[in-house]
Amino acid sequence: VGAAFEHALRNGYRHIDCAMVYQNEEEIGKAFNKVFTEGKVKREDVFITSKLWNSYKRAEEVPKACEKTLKDLQLDYLDLYLIHWPITFIPGEGLFPTDADGKFKFDDKKT
C-alpha 85/C-alpha 72 separation (Å) is: 21
Q: Is residue 22 annotated as a catalytic residue, yes or no?
A: yes
Picking from 79, 75, 86, the residue whose alpha carbon sits closest to that of residue 36 is: 75
Task: Tell the burial category of 89 from Cβ atoms under 10 Å away from its Cβ (0-12, 13-18, 19+).
Answer: buried
> Residues 13, 22, 56, 81: which is the catalytic one?
22
Catalytic positions:
22
